[in-house]
Amino acid sequence: MSIHEDRNVHELDDHHKNYVCIILSSRSRKILVCTVVACAFLAALITAIVKTTRHHNHKHNGPAPDINDNFTLHRDKNHSDNNNYTLALHKALMFFNAQKSGKLPRNNNVSWRGNSCLQDGVVGGYYDAGDAIKFNFPASFAMTMLSWSVIEYRAKYQVVEELSHVKDIIKWGTDYLLNTFNNFADRNESIAAQVGSGGNDHYCWMRPEDIDYDRPVTECHSCTDLAAEMAAALAAASIVFKDDKAYSHKLMYFATGNSSYLKLATIPSLAKHAGAFWGGPDYGVLSWDNKLPGAQVLLSRLRFFFSPGYPYEEILRTFHNHTSIIMCSYLPVFRIFNRTKGGLIQLNHGKPQPLQFVVNVAFLATLYSDYLDAADTPGWYCGPNFFSTDVLRDFAKTLIDYILGKNPQKMSYIVGFGNHYPTHVHHRDASIPNNKIKYSCEGGWKWRDTSKPNPNTIVGAMVAGPDKHDGFHDVRTNYNYTEPTLAGNAGLVAALVALSGDNNTRIDKNTIFSTLIPLMFPTQPPPPAPWKP
């Protein structure tokens, strides 16, 4: 679903990222309900929408300093693949440390970052990309994706000693989200949707630590989709923090007070309004602006592991069938999506910044193959043709291997991974020396425009990626090639953890939806008393 379709749009940013505060028509509200419902895992975001329309173990914060940055990509053995994915995972998580705003923790482990924007109307959170703007919409999506990956692959995070780290990352994000609305009120009609603007924050080239200009807070009213996205992030995180009952309950309280909203997720008319079965150019392409593929995969999970039966079976079977169709569409044999000569699937149809979509699909494909394995199902059908789960996993590996360096440029698109990676990342803080000299708004332009590599390595940042011809220009001034984003790296982390480790480490069937089973199967009434003459 395009963000410009069937909506009245008030843009919050006049630069290259079209994050928006949206006033929805009644039809769009219905669309919104279904497109994001499953991403709340307990249908929590549905509650947030209804409310709105009616009225972040072992302490570890990133890879050890002595991890070998010159690790090169190998393709000869499966364990070498797993080593690559695990190393890349360590690095990809570090990107979030580099994006933190506010007063930083002592163990942030990014030497060139410091406290920043302490005078913001809402302090904390994450900078969205190479600038200093904070957007709730993509940040909420990023926290949801990270939480989803923890829920499914907690054991893998534990094995590589990153569970505490990723939970810290998520909590940093959800703490901020909780501060963007009045969480003491019974009813909220506004959200601080954005901090910063497309004016100064894009015109100026300054370290966030040195920002001295006014940063407006943009409030959003009647923006049910944003409320739902935030509710999804809080609900998903509440499952991640289930061992911290106080924090988990706090998150779930602000996401939903009524888990019976699962029923809304399975109303056929809502799915139809959402375009769940329409197809179209973005069908099957998960992004911060299109949650349908994720929702359908999650609802398929519900059917796989809990088989709730009537009255849910018919609509869940439909979602399951369409999830199978989506997985078929990814395979090169069906030619639904174009591919570059180097083999990169063009999920955004040749437009710039392709990698953020690629990593999300790699995650979905790997996760769905793990669902099938956990259900003791060897594969799935595309029409009369049967494909094994290995086909999906190999597809996902091909995408991630491309990003890690198996591409025509022989370049890793993750900063700090391998021997050859972008060194002119479109990122203000990474491009300006941390030399205790404060550069003014325009004084920093010399660092933006220099041909010299960035003085600071923003480890783990996945850049926007190559063009449709596999070409890449390592130029700081071209964000279409070299800018990383919060949402993009969240998808990368999810895909890497899904592919990492031993294939025998299965997902836990009971992490999602198990608490809803009593709602699906109400307690039966007691049997009648024995008959007496």
Catalytic residues: 131, 426, 474, 483
Q: What is the DSSP string of 55-72?
A: -------S--TTS-TT--
Contact between residue 293 and residue 369 where contact means Cβ atoms under 8 Å apart: no
Q: How far apart are CA 531 and CA 533, in angstroms?
A: 7
Give per-residue burial for 164-197: e unless 16+ CB within 10 Å, then b.
bbbbbbbbbbbbbbeebbeeeeeebeebbbbbbb
The strand pairing partners of 452, in sequence order, are none
What is the phi-psi region of residue 220: left when phi exceeds 0, alpha when psi lies from -120 to 50, beta otherwise?
beta
Helix axes 486-499, 389-404, angle to 10 degrees: 130
Q: How far apart are CA 21 and CA 8, in angstroms?
A: 9
Residue with tokens 């009647």: 222
Q: Which residues contact 136 (CB under 8 A, 6 or more apart)?
A: 177, 180, 191, 192, 193, 194, 226, 229, 230
Q: Note whether 348 and 404 are within 8 A (CB).
A: no
Longest dimension (CA), the chain: 99
Positions of E strands within 176-303: 190-195, 217-221
Pick from 255, 288, 291: which is nearest to 274 by CA? 291
Under 8 Å CB-to-CB from 526, ≥6 apart: which residues? none
β-partners of residue 100 are 126
Residue ranges of the alpha helices (H) in 17-128? 26-37, 44-54, 78-98
Name 126's bridge partners: 100
Pairwise CA distance, residues 224 & 48, whole Å: 8
Measured over the CA atoms of residue 309, residue 314, residue 318 and residue 319, the dihedral's sign is negative
H/E element, 188: none
As a whole number of angstroms, the distance between CA 422 and CA 411 comes to 8
State the residue for tokens 């091909």: 398
Asked if 158 contacts 136 with a C-beta cutoff of 8 angstroms, the reply is no
